[in-house]
Structure 1
């Protein structure tokens, strides 16, 4: 990659952060976002991984995880342009995960496998982790497990557990918490808002 191409890609990454995080007001401030460090070091580690330098690639990813507040991206994962990790704490992306363009994920998201006891039975080279389509949003603490596919333009809501394919343009939501009264207590005034629909942004 030429210096000019690298610069354009870096500016695009900063603009993605500025566009999707209302608390960021400039490219200079975006430079301090944990997503920048995670994405830039991932790209370097991914190049090393593809050249067969697996241990060096893993070392880079371990250092990036420590410095980014816990964003763990395996260097074997494939990630498109416009990728953004909001907040960034506790994110895990597995080795065979594939992420499309303009994807946003929030903190504590896992794109993982269903467990080594299943994966050891798969043929060598078989995908073990999710494929995420373009323009997908995955909410905080959502978990997507196994070789499933999240279709483009879908939203996976916070706390959702996904273990089956999701068609394009879908909304996958976890159950909304419902307050319950203790026996004999008076109703809580906020109980009326339970079940209010949640609007997610359309990307």
Structure 2
């Protein structure tokens, strides 16, 4: 039997030598890699900039507000530039160089210019969440504790970075929120103003979804795609998720699949399975249960 040292060294040697087959799944480590931990820190900084005092350092004095926001924005610029650079290097076939560093810095600054608009959108989400939940005691309570706001902060940040062409980082940001809240929103999904999710757990919003203004979802709602048997690379270019127009409400555990349009001012009740479009002002409820007898799996 090998000694502990020999056993460790043997396995370190094996694990350090990836086979050709493994390289399909595990990239070579000759370029910078994004950091999940630093990406999470970026999100926390953005939260402290948009909602100072609610996240990050507690702001007790209005006179220090500008100082805190300025300090966090400078730190954000540095960290974001680094992670955008790493993301581009990780996802690109180009050689690591000054051009990529310059591009990363430029994208970080463009994103910082987007933060006031992200804040405006999130404030509409806070208002929508508060207005539609009788149990909410204040806007502050919504910002502090509601999973919807946590998920939407990440989504609106990830979406803007994706629009700028930043690779990898947006998906990491969306999955951080998914892990924490149970709300799964693809960073490419387009979501309008005054969006709210009641409770939130189990909500799924797919990549090519387009959601209008004043839309409300409940827990367990899926805005997904039908099963696609075509070539995956081709299927990714096809809009395959629903479009929800303004003032749509979808109650818990309903599933809406495919590139269908749900017209404005529509209400979809709980536990509905929907794959066909709906005109405006529709009101869809769960159908009565259909009973049937199945022998040896017949009909299933």
> So what's the TM-score if we normalise by structure 1?
0.80
- 2:203 is the counterpart of 1:78: no
Structure 1 residue 97: Cα displacement: 0.5
- Structure with the greater relative contact order (CA < 8 A, sep ≥ 6): 1 or 2? 1
Tell me which structure has the larger Cα radius of gyration: 2
Structure 1 residue 51: Cα displacement: 1.7
> So what's the TM-score if we normalise by structure 2?
0.55
- 2:273 is the counterpart of 1:161: yes
Alignment of 1:43-192 (within 5 A): 43-68=156-181, 70-117=182-229, 120=232, 125-176=237-288
After the TM superposition, list the runs of 4 or more consecutive aligned residues in structure 1 that deviate by more than 6 angstroms: none
Alignment of 1:6-25 (within 5 A): 7-25=119-137
Q: Distance in 2 between matches of 1:143 and 1:132?
A: 13
Per-residue Cα deviation, 1:78-117 (whole angstroms, up to 9, x for no partner): 0000110100000000000000000000000000000132
- 2:149 is the counterpart of 1:36: yes
Between structures 1 and 2, the one with greater helix share: 2
Show structure 1 runs of 5+ residues with no match. Answer: 179-203
Show structure 2 runs of 5+ residues with no match. Answer: 1-112, 291-300
The aligned counterpart of 1:196 is: none
Q: Distance in 1 between matches of 2:195 and 2:231?
A: 27
The farther-off stretch of 51-60 and 117-126 is 117-126
* Maintained 8 Å contact 2:262/2:277: yes
Q: Distance in 2 between matches of 1:124 and 1:60?
A: 21
What secondary structure sits across from 1:116 in the alignment?
Answer: coil
Structure 1 residue 30: Cα displacement: 0.6
Q: Distance in 2 between matches of 1:173 and 1:99?
A: 21
Q: Distance in 2 between matches of 1:148 and 1:2?
A: 31
